[in-house]
Amino acid sequence: MKTFRELYCAAERCRDDEFVPHIFWRCLYRQALPIAGLILLVHPDYFAPDRDLITFAGRTTSLRQFNEEVRDFVKDRRNRGWWRASLRVRVSAHRLRNIVVQHLGEVASAPTRSTVAGPEAASS
Query: What are the pLDDT digits (tens) for 90-119?
Result: 999 999 999 999 999 854 443 333 333 333
Q: What is the pLDDT of residue 16?
A: 96
Q: What is the pLDDT of residue 80?
A: 87
Contact (Cβ atoms closer than 8 angstroms) between residue 19 and residue 5: yes
The CA distance from 92 to 68, in Å, is 16
Residue-wise pLDDT tens digits, 1-10: 899 999 999 9
Q: What is the pLDDT of residue 109?
A: 40
Please report, for residues 7, 43, 68, 69, 99, the alpha-carbon distance to residue 102 in angstroms, rounded to integers and kept in the order given.
10, 32, 18, 17, 5
Residue-wise pLDDT tens digits, 45-87: 999 999 999 999 999 999 999 999 999 998 889 888 899 988 9
Tell me the average pLDDT of the chain. Answer: 86
pLDDT, average across residues 16-29: 97
Please report, for residues 60, 92, 115, the alpha-carbon distance to residue 65 in angstroms, rounded to integers and kept in the order given.
6, 17, 20
CA nearest neighbour of 39 among 6, 81, 71, 7: 81
Q: What is the pLDDT of residue 79?
A: 86
Count of structural domains, the chain: 1
Half-sphere exposure of 115 (CA within 13 A, CB side): 4
Note down the domain range covering 71: 4-122
Contact (Cβ atoms closer than 8 angstroms) between residue 56 and residue 69: yes
Contact (Cβ atoms closer than 8 angstroms) between residue 28 and residue 87: no
Percent of the chain with pLDDT over 70: 85
Q: What is the pLDDT of residue 106?
A: 59
